[in-house]
A and B are shown apart, each in its own frame.
Chain A
Amino acid sequence: MISTQFDYVRAQTLDEALTLLSQNEDAKILAGGHSLIPAMKLRLAMPSLLIDIGRIKDLSYVREEGDQVLIGAMTSHYQIESSELLKQICPLLPECAGHIGDVQVRNKGTIGGSLAHSDPAGDWPAAVIALNAELVVAGKSGDRTISVDDFFMDLMTTALEPGEILREIRINKSTRRTGQAYVKMHHPASGFAVVGVAANLTLNEKGACQTASIGITGVSAKAYRATAVESALAGSVFSEQSTANAASHAADGVDINGDLFASEVYRRHLAQVFTRRAITLASSRVG
């Protein structure tokens, strides 16, 4: 199908994009266009104006600043997947990027677009939850920073206000004795996560779990932090038994979605299995 008619502006600066956004209630921000454009072609989305921020150069970067890594919102999945810096200091991000869609999607799709769209089966939300990211959002009255735990609100609904644009993702560099992993069951047709689990673990000097941070996507209306798994892991020594026990809490208190492919019961089971795998893999990588 062909989309309905719309106007298109290629913004040169973020300020220009913010101004256009504030002047047009029905406008949408175009990032990589790998969710919005298909929706428009099916006429599920019919914005009157597309504001393309994909060519704004200073929105695409990966750089270190103090103890943090800063990632521009328009950094493509491929740039993250192939970043030598990230492989060193935050390997969860390149690993997660490698699981997204296919090469074409990874070349064009962006981390900021994915987070702002907040697809319930998107991969990035699980990863940024596990990494305890901060999201920097630009608005007409300046920037504000949102903790990832306050960002995902409901199905494709985030804490972004209508006139705001996500500009940067900030993540603390991984320290010593940290292990990270992202494991996923790919939907065989779409490649989306039926279940995706990101684990970010830190051990203390005695080898017990000091902090555990687990993000899960695909299971519910939005990605979530598996707090029951995290508290079961904290202080424990990793073993097959303790890992399985913690992972059994993967979907505690979560309103699980079912669809034609995976029922509620099956998804709960998958969440537990993939959480166990993520913890096992992450703990084996602690170095």
Chain B
Amino acid sequence: MSLISRTSPASKLRQGLQAGSSPLLNWFMKIEGTQKLHAPRERVYSALTDPAILQRCIPGCESLEKTAENTYAATLKAGVGSIKGSFKGEVRLEDMRPPDHYRIVVEGKGGVGFAKGSADFDLEGTGGATLITYAGELQIGGTIAAVGQRMIEAAAKMMASRFFAALEAEVSVDLDTNAP
């Protein structure tokens, strides 16, 4: 299950102030959790680093195109209910050690605000399944952070659970088709 919590230290708020904006307009959120997928680790690792699969799994991702080695340009139409926003940005995969570990770095902006952050993914094989442990931090700013602050956490949790549900479907479908 995913667990997303805020970082509360005053240092984070000061960072926001030093960046020249109100702390209310910059929201730092810790993203951490674990997720078990019913597929072997190699399969999960290749899915998590496959742009075609990621594009299908990331809620609202319209395109994910390779611009350099492990670097992709992304367009996203994300939203909940009547609230929707379009985002453009870059996704970079770093520190890749298949099938154990990689880091994903994202940066994007749109009419309603911006988001940037990174997260480390660690994969652990347990029988035929894989336990993903992820941890990172996301910074959100602009209108969406200023007026939608009370909902950002719930929205992030919802996006994370939709992402992993889609990923689970992707990796398990593949296993079924390969079954003897």
Q: Name A's B-contacting residues (CB within 8 A).
A: 28, 35-36, 39, 42-47, 117-118, 120-121, 154-157, 192, 220-221, 255, 257-261, 263-264
Among the listed B27, B82, B147, B154, which residue makes an inter-chain contact with A220, where contact means beta carbons less than 8 Å apart?
Answer: B154
User: Is residue B52 within 8 Å, beta carbon to beta carbon, of the partner chain?
Assistant: no
Contact A264 B5 (CB under 8 A): yes
Contacts of A28 in B (CB 8 A): 82
Among the listed A35, A117, A155, A192, which residue makes an inter-chain contact with B154, where contact means beta carbons less than 8 Å apart?
Answer: A155
Given known contacts A155-B151, A259-B149, is B158 in contact with A47 (CB within 8 Å)?
no
Given known contacts A43-B111, A43-B143, A44-B112, is B8 in contact with A263 (CB within 8 Å)?
yes
Known contacts A155-B81, A220-B154, A263-B6; 12 further A-B pairs (Cβ under 8 A): A44-B85, A45-B83, A117-B81, A118-B81, A121-B150, A156-B80, A156-B81, A156-B83, A156-B151, A221-B154, A257-B154, A258-B6
A258 to B24, CA, bound (A): 15
Contact B158 A42 (CB under 8 A): no
Contacts of A220 in B (CB 8 A): 154
Contact A155 B111 (CB under 8 A): no
Q: Which residue of B lies closest to A117 (CB)?
A: B81
Given known contacts A42-B143, A44-B112, is B153 in contact with A258 (CB within 8 Å)?
yes
Q: Name B's A-contacting residues (CB within 8 A).
A: 5-6, 8, 24, 27, 80-85, 111-112, 143-144, 147-155, 157-158
Contacts of A255 in B (CB 8 A): 157
Contact A36 B82 (CB under 8 A): yes
Contact A39 B83 (CB under 8 A): yes
With most chain B CB atoms within 10 A of its CB, the pick from A36, A221, A263 is: A221
A264 to B112, CA, bound (A): 26
Contact B154 A120 (CB under 8 A): yes
With most chain A CB atoms within 10 A of its CB, the pick from B6, B24, B27, B81 is: B81
Contact A120 B149 (CB under 8 A): no
A282 to B147, CA, bound (A): 35
Sampled A-B contacts (24; CB under 8 Å): A28-B82, A43-B112, A43-B143, A44-B83, A44-B112, A44-B143, A44-B148, A45-B83, A47-B82, A118-B81, A120-B150, A120-B151, A156-B81, A157-B80, A220-B154, A257-B150, A257-B154, A258-B5, A258-B6, A259-B152, A259-B153, A260-B27, A263-B8, A264-B5
